[in-house]
Chain A
Amino acid sequence: MSGHDGYAAVMARRGDVMRTSVGIDYAAYATGALAFDYERLLADTGYDLPAIEAVQARTGVGATPLVELENLTSLARALAPAGHGARILLKDEAANPSGSFKDRRASLSAHEARAKGYPGIAAATSGNYGAAVASQAAKAGLPCVIVQEAFDSRGLAQPEIAEKARACEAYGAEVLRLSVGPELFYVFLRVLEETGFFNASLYTPYSILGIETLGYELARQVRALAGRLPDAVLVTHAGGGNVTGTARGLAAAGAAEVPVIGVSVDLAGLHMASDRDFNRKSFTTGHTGFSIPFTTWPDRADVPRNAARALRYLDRFVTVTQGEVFYATQALAELEGLERGAAGNTALAAAIAMARELPADGILVVQETEYTGAGKHPIAQLGLARKLGIEVRRGDPRTSRPGESIVVPEHPSQLRVVDLDLDRIRRSYLRKAMGSLAAGTTPSDADVEFLAADTRTDPDYVARFLRQADAPGR
């Protein structure tokens, strides 16, 4: 299609469409060629923690239970050296209205859309977030459009996304389902232009501020339960919002020193825009296909400036395999009586492994769960994998290859995390930042300070990187 509604013409209008549909003039926050005032971007929304809590309380969002996983803790202790095996606590976010922590993200967007008089809400998402936006839109009395990447060129739907479409429709939303490809963004822009709806992007300040209550609640709950703060909070990590919002909420509760560990399912080798690979992924979120690109370059998001900036908050970044997460999901159901969705249990798989390394008086918090059901279940995902010729077997999960094999551990001692090198990720971020500069532009002092804050380093670190990047032969 060409002309006014053609791909090139619509993409050229993206800046205007975003400004209108989000109601934020991002350019006003620029403080350099690269730098922008991140804290002011968030603060200017006018929502502080009490305001966010009030908005969320009105729709039954948040205040989810913190559950002590006594049996999984016993299991970790059974596998650990004497005196080891930390307590594992779980924030049961499936208790939110649409079944995941994404309700926290959607709540401020719906509130904002209504307050500013937008005629409806739209979001581009194939995940739990669609159901969350649809649920919040229903409560706000606003029409809603969700745009999904849902099926491959053979018409084969990813079962988890099919379930999300059903959930969105249950809340009265229109679901526009697309085949595989990043041009989804073009379709989404056309929806925003045509409807004038609010863009409930996952990456606006509203979406990130909404998660702060999660970190804030869990710090208070752990203090009340154990009389102290946890040794680490494990966060299933995809686009960076969960890490960012949770860490900011911890800081607001006086728990800034608690390490935040991002955990992703390793999907190395599978291409996110591939029609062939689409259904060979048995996870639709919480995986490295999102977390690596978004951690190394957050501003790839639909909005000009992503409010989810994971590198600012990550203390450690680890991966687990698909088979380990399915195993942890089964363990949570059968040992703790909590049947929950697999993707939300990504951090749980890591917690079972990491609890063994900590003393028995240590505390690990897994900060989310999500609902489960038809399609959105290990049985449905492994059934599809098998149908597509992916090998499913028991064994050492380290021998698995994403898209080719899924290996369910034979014993819980086989659960392991693999550390990603955060310093390498920081350098990758800096390379992408420099690559985004117009030719002949050199970073100002403000840019260097911003890059240091964005990578959680210091201006000397950034300056050293820039000198190396300029060196001959590089």
Chain B
Amino acid sequence: MSERIAEGAWVQIHGIVLRPGERVAKVPEETQAVPLEMTAKGRLDGAAALGEEVTITTPAGRRLAGTLVAVDPPYDHGFGRPVPELVPVGRELRALLVNEGETR
């Protein structure tokens, strides 16, 4: 992954805000056992390769430092497969309304 990414590219960085030993005492054990991580997006301040420590300028104008992890980070949330438990609901409810209309 030595390909250089140009200054000004839209990128994502990752960083550790608090290490496991620095978490507040009141959080559950499974949360204390892991770091508090952050990701942010912005324009790359200087050419760099993935995995390097960089700074970015965010849309709010802030300069943030972290590890360069992605270029043009995708939006990959979606819908997925239809849910079989929900597919018949409309048909069932319309049938109840039709039956009711006939009986009243």
Residues on A lying within 8 angstroms of B by beta carbon are 1, 7, 71, 74-75, 77-79, 120, 143-145, 150-151, 153, 157, 159, 162-163, 166, 169, 172-183, 186-187, 191, 194-195, 271, 273-276, 326-327, 330-331, 333-335, 374-375, 377-380, 382-384, 392-394, 408, 411-412
Cβ contacts under 8 Å, A177 to chain B: 38-40
Q: Are B89 and A330 in contact (CB under 8 A)?
A: yes
Q: Are B85 and A408 in contact (CB under 8 A)?
A: yes
Given contacts A71-B97, A77-B100, list 19 more A-B pairs with CB under 8 A: A75-B97, A78-B97, A172-B59, A174-B58, A175-B40, A179-B36, A181-B31, A183-B24, A187-B17, A191-B62, A274-B28, A331-B90, A374-B75, A374-B77, A374-B78, A378-B86, A379-B86, A393-B85, A408-B89
Chain A residue at smallest Cβ distance from B92: A411
Chain B residue at smallest Cβ distance from A323: B85
Evaluate whether A334 and B94 lie within 8 angstroms (CB atoms) in the complex, with A120-B60, A275-B30 already known. yes
Evaluate whether A379 and B83 lie within 8 angstroms (CB atoms) in the complex, with A276-B30, A334-B94 already known. yes
Q: Are A382 and B85 in contact (CB under 8 A)?
A: yes
Across the interface, B23 reaches (CB within 8 A) one of A143, A181, A274, A330, namely A181
Cβ contacts under 8 Å, B38 to chain A: 176-179, 187
Q: Are B28 and A273 in contact (CB under 8 A)?
A: yes
Cβ contacts under 8 Å, B4 to chain A: none
Chain B residue at smallest Cβ distance from A407: B85
Chain A residue at smallest Cβ distance from B37: A179
Interface string of B66-95 (1 = CB under 8 A from A): 000000000101111111011001101110
Across the interface, B24 reaches (CB within 8 A) one of A7, A176, A194, namely A7
Q: Are A145 and B60 in contact (CB under 8 A)?
A: yes
Q: Are A330 and B60 in contact (CB under 8 A)?
A: no
Chain B residue at smallest Cβ distance from A122: B60
Tally B residues with Cβ within 8 Å of A: 44
The 6 closest A-B pairs by CB, nearest first: A334-B90, A375-B77, A78-B100, A383-B80, A174-B58, A153-B34
Across the interface, A375 reaches (CB within 8 A) one of B23, B24, B26, B78, namely B78
* Docked CA distance A178–B36 (Å): 7
Across the interface, A174 reaches (CB within 8 A) one of B33, B35, B42, B100, namely B42
* Docked CA distance A206–B43 (Å): 33
Q: Are B86 and A157 in contact (CB under 8 A)?
A: no
Q: Are B59 and A169 in contact (CB under 8 A)?
A: yes
Chain B residue at smallest Cβ distance from A146: B60
Q: Are B60 and A195 in contact (CB under 8 A)?
A: yes
Chain B residue at smallest Cβ distance from A377: B79
In the complex, how many angstroms separate the beta carbon of A74 from the nearest chain B beta carbon? 6
* Docked CA distance A392–B90 (Å): 18
In this assembly, does B96 line the interface, its C-beta being within 8 Å of a C-beta of chain A? yes
* Docked CA distance A275–B99 (Å): 48
Could you write out 24 A-B pairs with CB less than 8 Å apart?
A1-B22, A78-B96, A78-B99, A145-B58, A145-B62, A166-B77, A169-B59, A172-B59, A174-B40, A174-B59, A174-B60, A178-B36, A179-B35, A183-B36, A187-B36, A275-B28, A276-B28, A327-B86, A335-B94, A374-B77, A375-B77, A379-B86, A408-B86, A412-B96
Chain B residue at smallest Cβ distance from A375: B77
Evaluate whether A144 and B37 lie within 8 angstroms (CB atoms) in the complex, with A75-B96, A182-B27, A183-B24 already known. no
Cβ contacts under 8 Å, B18 to chain A: 1, 7, 181, 183, 186
* Docked CA distance A182–B78 (Å): 27
Evaluate whether A75 and B78 lie within 8 angstroms (CB atoms) in the complex, with A273-B28, A379-B86 already known. no
Chain A residue at smallest Cβ distance from B79: A379
Cβ contacts under 8 Å, B26 to chain A: 182, 273
In the complex, how many angstroms separate the beta carbon of B20 from the nearest chain A beta carbon? 10
Q: Are B36 and A166 in contact (CB under 8 A)?
A: no
Chain A residue at smallest Cβ distance from B18: A183
Across the interface, A180 reaches (CB within 8 A) one of B31, B78, B79, B93, namely B31
Across the interface, B31 reaches (CB within 8 A) one of A174, A275, A375, A382, namely A275
Evaluate whether A181 and B30 lie within 8 angstroms (CB atoms) in the complex, with A7-B24, A380-B80 already known. no
Chain B residue at smallest Cβ distance from A194: B62
Chain A residue at smallest Cβ distance from B82: A379
Q: Are B28 and A7 in contact (CB under 8 A)?
A: no
Chain B residue at smallest Cβ distance from A382: B83
Chain A residue at smallest Cβ distance from B83: A382
Cβ contacts under 8 Å, A394 to chain B: 85
* Docked CA distance A330–B83 (Å): 11
Q: Are B79 and A330 in contact (CB under 8 A)?
A: no
In the complex, how many angstroms separate the beta carbon of A241 from the nearest chain B beta carbon? 24
* Docked CA distance A471–B28 (Å): 34
Q: Are A331 and B89 in contact (CB under 8 A)?
A: yes
